[in-house]
Amino acid sequence: MVKSKLYALLPQAQVIDLSMGDTELDLISAVYILKTGLTCFPPGSIHLVALQNNTDRQILQHEWAPDAKRFLLCETASQFIITPDNGLVSLLGEDVRIYNLFYDNPEHSKFYLRDLFPHFAAALSTSQNADLLGVLTTSYARLTWPQPFVQGNVLKGQKIYEDAFGNLVTNITKDMFMQACPKGRFEVILPGAIITQLHAYYYDVDLGQPLLLFNTAGYLELAIRGQSAAALLIPRSMGSNRFFQIHIHLL
């Protein structure tokens, strides 16, 4: 119904699903998708975020004050992001302009992705002027980006995104890894395997073998060639795999 509404209002629109198949997508994953994906879109692109503010409490700041009926427009990198007040916009960097969006029918907030967001997108597509849709604000929910850290001789990180192939993207950046492990000697102990080196490509190892590499966005990724790392490394008994951790033993 959402796409139908978009095409009804914007017949010439090109609608692209960035993450409709991600059943366990959380806000940190959504931030990763947007921050790494915005560079692939032309200026004037409009992004709709459906996630509400039911994220896990351990990543919320004390000033967390979500409003289920408040919707925001974020202007950044000459593009626009329309989203609920869920904390996402607080992690998109410093060069952003954030607007509190106006709407007149409270009932439309119940199915905002269908009843509100297409209208916002249509108006924005025509005018490219966020000031016509809302008012600049600094009042919105905030999230804290999970930071990797070194404890003793162990670099600890966590999964921030699982792609469609089951590869696990962590919050450890290349700079952070090189700073913590300047000699390049380390161990990652997995069930039935130990990783002791970085690779540049998935095909550097045999089928079924695990590997670590830095993806094109500069984040450390844990993968198993030809298989899903998430399915093999994260027991279903753990429930949600949102906070899967990786421990890198520095040698």
Which tens digits make up the pLDDT trace of 134-169? 999 998 888 889 999 999 999 999 999 998 899 999
User: Span 174-202, mean pLDDT?
Assistant: 93
Which tens digits make up the pLDDT trace of 109-142? 888 988 999 999 999 998 889 899 999 999 888 8
pLDDT for 62: 46
Mean pLDDT of the chain: 87
Which of 2-6, 46-50, 154-158, 217-221 is the least confident region? Answer: 2-6
pLDDT for 231: 85
Both structure tokens of 196? 């002791």
Whether residue 190 is predicted with pLDDT greater than 90 in this model: the reply is: no
Whether residue 56 is predicted with pLDDT greater than 60 in this model: the reply is: no
Whether residue 238 is predicted with pLDDT greater than 80 in this model: the reply is: no
Confidence of residue 196 (pLDDT cuts 50, 70, 90): very high
What percentage of the chain carries pLDDT values higher than 70?
88
Tell me which of 210 and 61 has the higher pLDDT: 210
pLDDT for 59: 45
pLDDT for 235: 63
Which tens digits make up the pLDDT trace of 210-235? 999 999 999 999 999 999 998 887 76
What percentage of the chain carries pLDDT values higher than 90?
57
Whether residue 236 is predicted with pLDDT greater than 70 in this model: the reply is: no
Whether the CB-CB separation of 48 and 82 falls below 8 Å is answered with: yes
Domains located in the chain, CATH noted: 2-136 (3.40.50.10790), 149-250 (2.40.30.90)
pLDDT for 60: 47
* pTM of the predicted structure, to 2 decimals: 0.85
- List Cα–Cα distances, 247 to 37, 38, 138, 149, 188, in angstroms: 27, 30, 37, 10, 6
